[in-house]
């Protein structure tokens, strides 16, 4: 046969040899076509929608803004319980935002805890409590907290304390309650909040 003489498949079958596999030119060409540029384009196609969603969340939905709350229900609940006199800040600058407010009974008494963000974006907590001071201060500040000296604010003598980490505290000791203003805010912001209590 003419195909046998040319060494075609029939000749290979007659000699007992296996035919050579077809060349993989198509697969090699496909791999060579995937360049780093193609990978970068693929990543961009994925990242652009994610960036757009993040921009929408931050820009239109206020994703970076803290959620503010109305402290009035917690303050009213504390006043209704009549376990200690309740004060609230009056005349704070417009940049102060209330981010949490809760009244609850705890072991040894009750706490009214209101969290704020200062105009500089730092956290401050106002805590009013009738829990015994020897139990309250170690729990809220640290076991090693010591008074750092008195300061006069709105006609009352507060004590300055160190607290956890880089936090500072102002503490007002009264016969029926203890008031703490504690946070990582600057001293002048802590003093503003403490001085505004009425």
Q: Tens digits of per-residue pLDDT, 131-170? A: 999 999 999 999 888 899 999 999 999 999 999 988 999 9
Q: Where in the chain is the domain with CATH 3.30.200.100?
A: 72-195
Range name among 52-66, 104-118, 147-161 with the lowest pLDDT average: 52-66
Q: Given CA atoms 108, 171, 160, 141 in this order, what sign does their dihedral have?
A: positive
Phi/psi at 190 (nearest 5 deg)? Answer: -60, -40
CB 100 within 8 A of CB 126: no
Computed over every residue of the chain, the mean pLDDT equals 87
Burial class (CB in 10 A: 0-12, 13-18, 19+), 2: exposed
Q: For residues 168 and 190, give the distance between their C-alpha atoms in angstroms, rounded to a whole number.
A: 8
% of the chain exceeding 70 in pLDDT: 83
Residue 49's pLDDT is: 87
Q: Is the pLDDT of residue 100 over 90?
A: yes
Strand partners, 104: 111
Q: Is the pLDDT of residue 110 over 80?
A: yes
72-195 belongs to which CATH class? alpha beta
Tell which wins on pLDDT, 108 or 35.
Answer: 108
Q: Of the spans 2-6, 51-55, 108-112, 142-146, which averages the highest pLDDT? A: 108-112
The reply to whether the predicted model has a pTM over 0.75 is no
């Amino acid at each position: 046969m003419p195909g046998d003489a040319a060494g075609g498949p029939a000749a290979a079958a007659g000699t007992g040899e296996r035919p050579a596999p077809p060349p993989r030119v198509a697969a090699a060409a496909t791999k060579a076509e995937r360049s780093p540029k193609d990978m970068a384009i693929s990543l961009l196609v994925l990242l652009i929608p994610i960036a757009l969603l993040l921009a929408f969340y931050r820009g239109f939905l206020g994703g970076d803004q803290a959620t503010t709350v109305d402290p009035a229900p917690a303050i009213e609940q504390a006043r209704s319980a009549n376990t200690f006199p309740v004060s609230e800040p009056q005349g704070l600058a417009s940049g102060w935002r209330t981010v949490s407010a809760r009244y609850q009974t705890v072991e040894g008494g009750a706490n009214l805890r209101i969290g704020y963000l200062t105009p500089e974006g730092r956290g401050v907590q106002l805590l009013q409590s009738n829990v015994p001071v020897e139990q309250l201060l170690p729990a809220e500040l640290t076991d090693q907290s010591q008074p750092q000296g008195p300061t006069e604010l709105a006609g009352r003598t507060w004590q300055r304390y160190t607290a956890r980490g880089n936090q500072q505290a102002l503490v007002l000791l009264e016969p029926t309650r203890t008031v703490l203003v504690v946070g990582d805010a600057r001293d002048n912001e802590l003093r503003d909040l403490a001085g505004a209590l009425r």
